[in-house]
Amino acid sequence: MRKYFAAALLAGTLATPAFAQDTAANLGGLRVEGLIGYETTDVEDEGADGLTYGVGVGYDVQSGGAVFGIEAEATESEIDECATDAIAVGDQLCAEAGRDLYVGGRVGAAVGANSLVYVKGGYTNARIRLDYDPAVGNVVTTSREDLDGIRVGGGVQFGLGTNLYAKAEYRYSNYEQGFDKHQGLVGVGFKF
């Protein structure tokens, strides 16, 4: 999945014209966006995958062909996996990925008439929930963990008109306790 997304990202970048000399397109200002995508999580070589979705907000400043911005996101994950015989015969351990909060920045270059290629990075905090059922006495133990981490990624943003845009993005997040995520997302947003 990651290979296909990276290939699509590269193809979209190469398909746009060379860096624009005309910087009349306004890529700066306040923006809000809806996001949806696919993610793969990994905890010490045990993985799961599923849908992720959320919202983002940011503010970009354009200086010539360069764009600098700050951004924040809140996403939710549909990943919910269980393993039987995890510690003892007949037990069950379930892990559920929850909300993910992110704040960071991005730096990009204007390409074509109204498009942007960018890289991003910042702080992220993911919530996971663990439920352990020992199957003896049926006393379920539940714990929630908020894990701090860092996120890096990159993407392309295409103007769909004066204020509307679409984007495609890949990002990698590395959290405490050996937990990480690979995500491929698409989004639609509005610039003010």
Note the pLDDT tens digit of each residue in 147-164: 999 999 999 999 998 899
Specify the pLDDT at position 18.
Answer: 40
Helix (H, G, I), strand (E, B) or coil at 52: strand
Burial of 101 (0-12, 13-18, 19+ CB in 10 A): middle
pLDDT of residue 132: 84
pLDDT tens, position by position, 49-83:
999 999 999 999 999 999 999 999 999 999 888 77
pTM greater than the 0.75 cutoff? yes
pLDDT of residue 92: 80
Tokens of 16: 């746009």
Residues 6+ apart with CB under 8 A from 162: none
CATH hierarchy code of domain 2-191: 2.40.160.20
Q: What is the pLDDT of residue 14?
A: 44
Contact present, 74 and 54 (Cβ < 8 Å): yes
* Virtual torsion, Cα 101, 107, 111, 116, nearest 10 deg: 10
Domain map of the chain by residue range? 2-191
Q: Which backbone phi and psi does 21 adopt, to 5 degrees?
A: -85, -25
Residues of the chain with pLDDT under 70: 1-25, 43-45, 136-137
